[in-house]
Amino acid sequence: MGKITSILSSMLMASIIGGVSAQAELPDPGLCPDSPFYFLESFIENVGTFFTFGDLAKAERYADLAQERIAEAKVMAEKQQTQAMEKALEKYEKQMVKTTEKAEKARNKGKNIEKVIEIVTRATEKHLEVLREVLEKVPGPAKQAITKALDASKTGQQKALEALSQVNPGKTSELNLEIAQNKLEKIEQKTEELLEKEEECGAPCQTECEGTLAEGGAGQCVSECSVSCSQEEKENMEQALEEFKEKYDFGQIISTEGIQEKLDEMKTEVEEKIEEIKEKAIQMQENLQEQKEELEQRIKQLQGD
């Protein structure tokens, strides 16, 4: 009994003094929702929250707990424990709401919220990254819970930045620029993935069409492949572009002149990436059309024989 009490005391102290790293790395999840002892973690966290005083401290506390939930959801997704993952994400959404609510209350009382806002901003950026990775791994029915968590994370980040902009627009614009830079890097990554996939698209089409020459299905085969082959990469690219646009639009409202210039430079880079994709798409379409015409000509030759 004494040993159990000691363990619980250690868990309680860790729960009370724990905090979110400025680097926003995910913590060790510890007990997860699939454990029969998970209720102990929830109980200890609630006690720790009870003994956390003040709106500012509470905001950091809920941000800390939200980090735990993301770590748990990631582990549960890797284990294909979708119900346990959904349980962790449901708690995550509630804790993100409480984080922003407490931060706003602290700001209204004249407290310095810069530290907690910086924590929330960087943490949610990590959350979004992890949630998107998880989204690709889980089966269809579980994707809805992750989508809701993604929305909660983006909303929490945006509300945090808006709250900070009321007291320190300069710091807000710097944080927003940092996030925009992350989005730009993501666009560059997704651009490479999309172009690589587009280059691969022709080969499966050609192989399939070669096998259906006698049936006259060459044109249809090429057309279908060119549309569907890189669909997932296109959707990922569109998502990355939309997220950058959100940060650019927000930056136009709150950014200082120097930072706005940097945002405009990033926008120019994004536009260049889009043009690169368009040019590649045109080239791919022309190549596919040439393949189609060549295959149709071969079909006519075979029919003539």
Using a 10 angstrom Cβ sphere, with 0-12 exposed, 13-18 middle and 19 or more buried, the burial of residue 237 is buried
| Residue 128 or 25, more confident | 128
The stretches of 30-142 forming alpha helices (DSSP H) are: 38-50, 55-78, 82-108, 114-135
- Residue 184: pLDDT over 50: yes
| Residue 206 or 295, more confident | 295
Least confident of 44-48, 72-76, 282-286: 282-286
Q: What is the mean pLDDT of residues 83-90?
A: 92
pTM of the entire predicted model: 0.67
| Residue 108 or 226, more confident | 108
- Residue 64: pLDDT over 80: yes
Contact 99, 49 (CB under 8 A): no
Q: Please report, for residues 9, 40, 158, 288, the alpha-carbon distance to residue 134 in angstroms, rounded to integers and kept in the order given.
A: 33, 26, 22, 35
What is the predicted pLDDT for the residue at 70?
Answer: 93
What is the predicted pLDDT for the residue at 235?
Answer: 73
Other CB atoms closer than 10 Å to residue 193's CB: what's the count? 15
Using a 10 angstrom Cβ sphere, with 0-12 exposed, 13-18 middle and 19 or more buried, the burial of residue 169 is middle
What is the predicted pLDDT for the residue at 18?
Answer: 47
- Residue 279: pLDDT over 60: yes
CATH of domain 1-167: 1.10.357
What is the predicted pLDDT for the residue at 71?
Answer: 93
Residues 254, 249: Cα–Cα separation, whole Å = 9
Using a 10 angstrom Cβ sphere, with 0-12 exposed, 13-18 middle and 19 or more buried, the burial of residue 25 is exposed
- Residue 97: pLDDT over 50: yes
Q: What is the mean pLDDT of residues 142-162?
A: 88
- Residue 204: pLDDT over 60: no
Q: What is the mean pLDDT of residues 148-155?
A: 89
Share of the chain above pLDDT 90, in %: 16
pLDDT digits (tens, 9 = 90+) for 212-240: 444 444 444 444 444 445 566 677 777 77
